[in-house]
Amino acid sequence: MQDILVALLAVVLGPLATFGFYIVLNWLVNLLPAKAGKVLRPYVFIGPVLALVGGMLVYPTVQTVLFAFMNEDSTSWVGMRNFQKLFADPSFGSTVFNNVLWVAVVPIVTVIIGIAIATLTDKLGPVRERVFKSIIFMPMAISFVAASSIWRLNYQWDAGNTQIGMLNAIVKALGGTPVSWMQQEVFSLNSLLIMVVVIWSNAGFSMTLLSAAIKAVPEETIEAASIDGANGWQSFFKIVLPQIRVTAVSVFITVLISTMKIFDVIWGMTGGNFHTNVLGVDFFLEYFVYNNNGKASAVVVLLMIAIVPIMIYQIRTYRKQEELR
């Protein structure tokens, strides 16, 4: 009960305190001469935000980069030794391969499913469209930890005759032999099954953005294509898809970035065992289990090196989208 009260106080008092803080800042600015107040007011209001960004984002980033070149307890410099240890570890290649596999599968499948759902539900009529989209969007309301718990039960394997896992229950009903799905390393099957959880969770996000983009496509262009003899597939791929390309790319990159630093689903499903380990799990193990700040920071630096170019491309894509509006 005490935790609930603290959370409620934070939700209620946090915005009120912030509002009061800016009221006081505005009052102080009003005490200054009009000309000085006009010049300082924008900086006064954006200053706390910049301070928070600097203190909670920029400083930890710089600190992490420095720690990547220091020893386990960050007391002395060791140069590139942490990176050398990472690449010399026989299991690190498998970890990087899993990350590449996640990046290659999850974003593109999420976008394809989002486009398919957005297109098909658009034909159902307003009432049924809202119902189906609400159902598909529901997984977005739960955390990846909760989603992993749900799907771990679906993949559950029991040594006995009774199978409580849905997938194994289906296999058994069809006359097959139940399988320990999370331990199947052939063709990275267990990793692919974990990816299903992330795709299931992100499908609603992809559908929502892409549905809005599809609805914004001018009907005149589709009608013109129909008059010219184009069928439904041709109209979609040659008229609709090019006009929603920017939104599709934005969704793809957003899912790509979250996939590159995936951790909670894998930790909840396998703990990184059975060759399902990724860089996010590697960081957690090095930092919280092995207490090795240097190697943990080196893993984060590698992730940053991979993610920063993608973020820059996403920002450029967003700016181009804004210019077209």
Note the pLDDT tens digit of each residue in 211-252.
999 998 888 888 888 888 888 888 888 889 998 988 898 899
User: Do the domain assignments include residue 15?
Assistant: yes
User: Do the domain assignments include residue 74?
Assistant: no
DSSP-derived letter for residue 185 is: -
Which of 36, 67, 98 represents a domain boundary (last residue)?
67
Predicted model pTM: 0.85
CA distance 283 to 261: 10
Residues 319 and 285 in one domain: yes
Residues 95 and 57 in one domain: no
How much is the pLDDT for 173? Answer: 87
User: Do the domain assignments include residue 278?
Assistant: yes
Q: How confident is the model at residue 203 (pLDDT cuts 50, 70, 90)?
A: very high
Mean pLDDT throughout 124-133? 86
Q: Is the dihedral of CA 228, 232, 234, 235 positive or negative?
A: positive
Q: What are phi and psi of 70, to 5 degrees?
A: -120, 175
How much is the pLDDT for 324? Answer: 61
Residue indicated by tokens 């630096």: 301
Contact 210, 248 (CB under 8 A): yes
Helix, strand, or coil (residue 192): helix
How much is the pLDDT for 147? Answer: 92
Mean pLDDT throughout 253-276? 92
Residues 112 and 170 in one domain: yes
Residues 55 and 153 in one domain: no
Check which CATH number belongs to the domain holding 279 and give it. Answer: 1.10.3720.10
Contact 283, 264 (CB under 8 A): no
Q: Where are the alpha helices (DSSP H) in the chain?
A: 2-30, 34-53, 59-67, 81-88, 90-121, 126-137, 144-154, 166-173, 189-215, 219-227, 232-235, 241-243, 245-260, 264-269, 279-284, 293-324
Residue 65 token pair: 């980069």
Residues 61 and 102 in one domain: no
User: Do the domain assignments include residue 76?
Assistant: no
CA distance 30 to 71: 51
Residues 32 and 180 in one domain: no
User: Mean pLDDT for the chain?
Assistant: 89
**Domain of residue 264, residue span:** 81-324
Residues 166 and 313 in one domain: yes
Share of the chain above pLDDT 70, in %: 98
Contact 32, 44 (CB under 8 A): no
Q: DSSP secondary structure string, 266-319?
A: HHHHTTTTTTT--HHHHHHIIIIIS--HHHHHHHHHHHHHHHHHHHHHHHHHHH
Residues 48 and 165 in one domain: no
Residue 218, Ramachandran bin (φ over 0: left; ψ between -120 and 50: alpha; else beta):
beta
Count of domains observed in the chain: 2
